[in-house]
Structure formats: structure tokens, C-alpha cells
Structure 1
Amino acid sequence: MRRGYFVGFDTSCYTTSTAVSNEQGKIVFDERISLQVPKGSKGLKQSDCVLQHVENLPKLILKLKEFIDWRKVVGIAASVKPRPLEDSHMPVFLVSKGMGTSLASVMQVPFLPLSHQEGHLMAGIYSSGFVPKSDFLAVHFSGGTSELLKVKCCKTGGFQIEILGQSEDLYAGQFIDRVGVNMGMSFPSGPELEKLAMLCSKDSKLRIPSSVKGYSFSFSGPESFAQRLINKGEHFPSIARAVEICIAKTIEKIVRRAVENYEIKDVLFIGGVMANQFIRSFLKKRLEHKAVGAKLHFCEPCYSTDNAVGIALLAVRILAGSNYKS
């Protein structure tokens, strides 16, 4: 195994991230800068995201210089696209790719191109303490992805990923953000919506119907339903809780089907939406019930949101050879 530091970069739609792991898989540096979104806005253009990443990434690298000796860096990895698919592209990831390839070339160390989704999977495994011994299911719900995956850990240290189901329109995070912004919240709205939902009465019967067909699902209809509730003047905390329940029930339905059809019990939950404590508790109660028998593994909330920790750790496993055995 090569001894030294492995640097990871990730420039997603709303966070600039850098992380460093040593050769033993211990994270020694983890810093992020959230992109600035104007109040009342429902997102940023890719060009605006790229501009902020170009400004933020050098700041993180200068900060990194205070923590590690660059002469001891033996590998660099970066998110270069959203998913590990040939047709997966997004301009924001060109920033982390450009920085990673440039530094690796100058320092004459290996560069490892990875995907944002692979980083989330690795961060989830790392923070949950889950050690995959065979194929497992993964639920990746965020503002840019809403998918049910079947995952295999490869001998190379990476993952073989099969998409079982996905949203036909809006992602879960978009559902939350659109409703949240219309209730006066900042973007992204996840943390604020979760706090607001805590004020909901336990007796509230307000519900937003979930829309699931097989492994496919939709959040466009539920979002329109929620907007009508807002326009009718329904209690905002009750609407927030109804959004959480709708998302949780959607996940419950697709995971139940997959656990039964594929006879896979281990399920890893990753992505920003999965940091929501109500949704986590709801799923644990429903899916870990003996009637289903699933074993749920949740990424820690601080690693559920976008970060470069998983990217740095995958660099160790793939470049240094400290990998999971399939």
C-alpha cells in the first residue's frame, strides 16, 4: 500500500468540497463551502455554480496547506460527473475535474475520476459502519437524484451500480425546496422544513398522496398537491409534515418491493434528503418490522449532504489497494 495522503474534490450543484484521507482510511481534513443562493430563488444556474466553485476551491486548497504536507500526497480523486454512466454530464463537475487533473499532473501522482454518486455511497458506508458482504440496496434521495439502486462492491475497490427505479420527474429534494420556498424558506429548504414540521400537531390528518408504480415514482403530482394546500391557507407545519410523510411512504413502497423481489435485506440510505430525522425514524419503524426484515444503514447527517469524504476514501481503496472484497 502506498503511504501518504489521498485528496478528494467535489463540486456539486450547491457545495464546494475538499477532503483528505490517510492510507489507513482516516479522514484528516473535511471542509466545504455552501454556494450562495439569493433569497426567494429556487436554485442556481450551472454557470453561476461554476463561477462560485472557481472562487471557492482555491480557498479550500489554501486552507488545506495548513493541515498536510503536499509532498506526502500520493493520489488525487475528483467527482467528474453525477453518476458512473457514460452519458452522465454536468458542467459543475468540470471544476473539480480540472483542479484534480491539474494538481495530479503537476505533482506527478495518479488521478482517479469518480462520480458524485459513488462518493455518496462511500461516505454512507464509512459513516454508518456498514460493511457490505454481498449485494445491497441503496436509496439515494437528494436535490439532484432520487433513485433506488442495487450495488455490488468490486474487487477494484469501486462499485457496480444498477438503477432499479427512479423519479419520473422531480427529485425529492426539489419537491422539498419548491414547497419550502413558497412557504418563505431559504433554498435549499430541507433543514428549515424539517424544523417547521416539528411544530405539527400529532393529531394532524393532513396527507399528500404518494405516487408509485413498481419501482418508478413521481413527485410532480405531490408537489402540485402541496402548492394547492399552501394556496388554501392550510397550516404550514402540517404541510411540512405531510411532505415528509409523502417522501417516506414513497421510499417505503419501493424498498419493500425490492427487498421481497431481490431477497436483499441490507439497505443503505444516502443523499441530503436522508438526513431528515423524521423520515429516518418512519422508515426504521416500517422497514425493520419483522414482516419486512430489512436492515437499514443510514449515512450520518453530516455526510448525507454533499461532501468530498467519499471521494477521498475511494481514492484510498482504489489507488492504494485497501478495498472491499466482493
Structure 2
Amino acid sequence: MRILGIESSCDETAVAVVEDGVRIRSSIVASQVSTHAIYGGVVPELASRMHLEAIDPLVDQALMQADVGLNDIDGIAATQGPGLIGALLVGFSYAKALAWARHLPLAGVNHLEAHICSLQLLDNPPGFPFICLVVSGGHTNIYHVKEPGAFTLMGQTRDDAAGEAFDKVAKMMGLSYPGGPAIEALAQKGNPEKIKFPRSMLGKDSFDFSFSGLKSAVARHLHETPEMSPDIDDDRLAHVAAGFQMAVIDVLSTKLIAAAKKKKCADIGIAGGVSANRTFVDILSERAEQHKINVFSPPLSLCGDNAAMIAARGWEMIRNNQVCGLADDVYSRIKFTVDDAN
């Protein structure tokens, strides 16, 4: 079964063709980073306009790259939420129109569940059940993935998500947008032990996250050290980046390993934009190995927003007859409920 996937939840327009939920026939992403970088973040109106310009040519390119036509497509999957409403409407409306015109089933995909499904596109995916961290600009959630399509939320961020904290700290330091890659690059020149920032664990039995205190601690440090400036040729900013990054990694890895041990899972998966941080992946893998736990992360092409993961999740949904109608709408947020049993 070939699924055409469409993603437009934020600032990437993406289209992909995935076969049987695991084989990527094509995957194309049109990034808007350079457009939004001058504003230090995503401008929703600009994002929506750029999705409108990009989506139709991208569908043609994805079909051509996959060497298929619309007659060879068995279903369509599009991001329904969460995300920016205007951006979501572009991709989801396009998908609804195409599905109606071609008499094809349409899956409205939860963007976060799709990130988890990106791990199933690996040649060697994690085995069920496993623990998965979805860590991105807007979300930092831990899930217990019991079987395909069965996601139980164990913990979530109470304020800033990890990726959001990276972006905001980078902006404080005068670094480029997006902040994650900029901080990781600068941190490689610093000593993570030089400046000790707080680690908010929220109690030993909690799998929730809070990064607002860490962000505030970095802001105070920069304010109290006014000679620190991105214009100074000094290692001090590198030490700040390294210390901040290590604080985030310590919290994420500690809670992930604890969740895996609680659920007796041998595998941990990480997905979402922050999973592109190789320092995080390497440190988590090293620490997990001490507990005989394996760590899985997607390649760079599947870390950020992409349509291959949307198509993979859509394939599962269409197989289970979880399809949308023309009256279905997009949603910007999800009310998460943590499993009390954890």
C-alpha cells in the first residue's frame, strides 16, 4: 500500500511517498529556516504563505522521485495537528481536496505520534514495547509504546519544551536561529563542568519536565556577567553553552532511563528535532548501555518535520480504518493526560 504523506504543521513543507509503512520511496522537504531566521523565530503568516507556494510543486516532485503517479497511490495522510493553525490548514485542506477528487482514504495524523513512527522507518527499529521521547521545539513528552499505534503518555513538559529552551537561550547569547545546532556547535568548544546550571527533576518518581528555571538561570548568569558578549573572542560563552546543554541532557537521560527501567523496556527511542543533537544521543547511549538498554534515533533527514513519518503513521491508521471526512478540521493543541499508572 502506497501512502502520500503531507506535512505543514510549522515552517517546513514536506511531501513523501511511503510503501507499506516502512519503505520510503520519496521524501522532500522545503525548509523556511532562512526566511524566519531574521526574525529569530517562525512568523505564522509567512509560514502559511510559503506553504501555499510550495505544496503543489512538492507533490509533483515527490511522485516523480518515487516513480509513481496518482493512480498508484492507495491513500493520503496529512498532519491534522498540533501546530500552527494557518500552516496546518494549507496541507490538510490540500490533502482533503486530493483525497475527495481521487476517491482515496484520508488519515488525519497526530504530528507527535508520527515522530514516534519515524523510528519504524529505520532498518533496525526498536522492538515493542519501548520508551520513546518526542523532543522538539514545542514538546518534550515521554511515551510507553506498547505496540504499533498504542502510545501511553508517561510525562510531559510543564512549561518550556527542551527545543524551545535551546532557541531562547541561543537568542540570549546572540546565536543564530534555530538555537539547537548553534548551541551544540559552540558547546563543543566549552567545558560543561565550568558552569553548573540547575537540573529540575520534579521529584524522583516524576517523568515530567521543566526547563523554565534552567532558562532563567542562564539569563541571570549572562546578566550578572555583562562582559559576556558574542562579540568577545573568549571561551566563556562556550562554557555557558556547554553547561546549559549538559543540564538539559542530564534531565532528559535520567528520566528516560528511569522510565525504561520502570516499564522493563530494553529499548529507548528518541524522535523530534532535538534528536538531531548528536551530543545528546551519544551521552544517552553511553549511559543507557550501563543498564543494558539500547537507544534508537532517526537519521538527520527524519529528525525534523518530514512527511515520511506522516505517511508511516497514516498507513497504520488507514489499515485500521481510522480515516477522516471532509468535515474534519485541524487543531493547534492537544490536551495531554498522563497515565496515572505510569
TM bucket (normalised to shorter chain) is 0.7 to 0.9
The 5 A counterparts of 1:1-326 are 2=1, 5-23=2-20, 25-36=22-33, 37-67=35-65, 68-82=68-82, 90-127=85-122, 129-132=124-127, 134-154=128-148, 159-201=149-191, 204-213=193-202, 214-231=206-223, 232=225, 233=227, 235-289=236-290, 292-319=291-318
Q: Secondary structure at the match of 2:122?
A: helix
Instruction: Give per-residue Cα distances to partners, 1:76-132, cap 9 Å, x unaligned.
Output: 1111012xxxxx984432222111111111111111111111211111221262142
Per-residue deviation, 1:64: 2.9
Residues 40 and 184, structure 1, Cα contact 8 Å, conserved in 2: no
Give structure 1 stretches of 5+ with no counterpart: 83-87, 322-326
What RMSD, in angstroms, separates the aligned Cα atoms of the two structures?
A: 2.2
Q: Given the superposition, is the C-alpha separation of residues 39 and 259 from structure 1 closer, same or farther in structure 2, using an over 3 Å criterion? A: closer
Q: TM-score, normalised by structure 2?
A: 0.82
Instruction: Give per-residue Cα distances to partners, 1:127-150, cap 9 Å, x unaligned.
Output: 262142x32111111101111111
**Distance in structure 2 (CA, Å) of the matches to 1:38 and 1:299:** 25
Q: TM-score, normalised by structure 1?
A: 0.86
Per-residue deviation, 1:309: 0.8
**Distance in structure 2 (CA, Å) of the matches to 1:90 and 1:167:** 22
Q: Size of the alignment, in residue pairs? A: 305
Give structure 2 stretches of 5+ with no counterpart: 229-235, 321-342
Per-residue deviation, 1:24: 7.4
Instruction: Give per-residue Cα distances to partners, 1:250-299, cap 9 Å, x unaligned.
Output: 1122123212322223211111111111111111121221xx33221112
Per-residue deviation, 1:40: 5.0
Residues 77 and 106, structure 2, Cα contact 8 Å, conserved in 1: yes
**Distance in structure 1 (CA, Å) of the matches to 2:131 and 2:118:** 15
Per-residue deviation, 1:175: 0.6
Q: Secondary structure at the match of 1:112?
A: strand
Between the aligned residues of both structures, percent identity stands at 24
Supply the AA of the counterpart residue of 2:23. K
**Distance in structure 2 (CA, Å) of the matches to 1:255 and 1:25:** 26
Residues 80 and 114, structure 1, Cα contact 8 Å, conserved in 2: yes
Supply the AA of the counterpart residue of 1:308. A
Q: 220-229 vs 53-62, which deviates more?
A: 53-62
**Distance in structure 2 (CA, Å) of the matches to 1:170 and 1:6:** 34
Q: Secondary structure at the match of 2:97?
A: helix
**Distance in structure 1 (CA, Å) of the matches to 2:112 and 2:255:** 19
Q: 310-319 vs 235-244, which deviates more?
A: 310-319
**Distance in structure 1 (CA, Å) of the matches to 2:165 and 2:270:** 18
Structure 1 segments (4+ residues) deviating >6 Å: none
Q: Given the superposition, is the C-alpha separation of residues 220 and 40 from structure 1 closer, same or farther in structure 2, using an over 3 Å criterion? A: farther
Q: 34-43 vs 9-18, which deviates more?
A: 34-43
